[in-house]
Amino acid sequence: MYAPHVRRHAVSLLDSGLSQTDVNRQTGINRSTLRVWAQDRSLLDKYQDTDLCPRCEPVPRPPAPAHAYSYLLGLYLGDGCISPAGDPRKKVWRLRIACDDKWPGLIDECEEAMSAVRPDHKVGRTRAPGCTMVNGYWKHWPCVFPQHAPGKKHERRIVLDPWQQEIVDEHPGRFVRGLMHSDGSRGLNRIARRDGQGFYEYPRYLFANTSREIVGLMTATLDRLEIPWKSHTKRQPGVLSQAAVSISRKAAVARMDAFVGPKY
């Protein structure tokens, strides 16, 4: 199957007066295919908005809308994966974001963001123990999420492409929201008083991930937002240690509340 922009380019050459043989020589497209496109414009129209990939156009462009992509990128880095769907030879990929069933609003927001980035295909939900997998099928998920590669994220390098960084710089709050919705929380931290007279509590945000590079993306974005943070190491018996970031200053928590807030 040819990409839509390839089909459009071939038909425009035919419309300019070139013969099917000439267009075949320029594009490599089989003449029988060119004949079908030339004779049946309804077939071309059917594919006009199908399977479009912004990164595969002659002049690559970022996914849109940018605010939805920034949020979805945060979710993907935290709790997402891309895997072959069915026969690998068909090169169809499935993007899955694991969402805890305790947060139905988060599941809805994840589905809305995925649908916004991929508007011409249905986004589905699959139940799993304790969570819901929000998923979508596309040949081009690895194009819009170039961090995809074999192996676990914490075992390989995670770096944003320049065009991704531009989106995050434009919508840093949405990126932080996505990361927090995947591997973060807002809760009360309970500390014993030094005088032994009970405890005191204060709200804080906590983000933890086994990939230090993903944590680094979080802290770099917090710096851009001028939100102070502290680093920790989170350890649990039998579990890989995680790099953790906490935001606990009163003004910083209030700032985070403006665009993140508790999961819902």
Mean pLDDT of 109-136: 94
Tokens (6 digits) for 35: 């004949």
Please check the confidence at residue 179 and state whether its pLDDT lies above 90. Answer: yes
The model's pLDDT over 82-104, given as tens digits with 9 standing for 90+, comes to 999 988 888 899 999 999 999 99
**Quick one: pLDDT at residue 49?**
47
**Quick one: pLDDT at residue 48?**
47
Give me the percent of the chain exceeding a pLDDT of 90.
62
Mean pLDDT of 39-51: 55
Least confident segment among 54-58, 101-105, 233-237:
233-237
- Residue given tokens 């071309």 in the structure block: 44
Mean pLDDT of 64-71: 97
> Dihedrals φ, ψ of 114, to 5°?
-65, -40
Please check the confidence at residue 146 and state whether its pLDDT lies above 70. Answer: yes
Say how far apart CA 78 and CA 62 lie, in whole Å: 21
> Dihedrals φ, ψ of 4, to 5°?
-55, -40
Average pLDDT across the chain, whole number: 89
DSSP strand E in the chain: where?
A: 80-84, 93-100, 124-128, 131-138, 184-192, 199-209, 230-236, 239-247
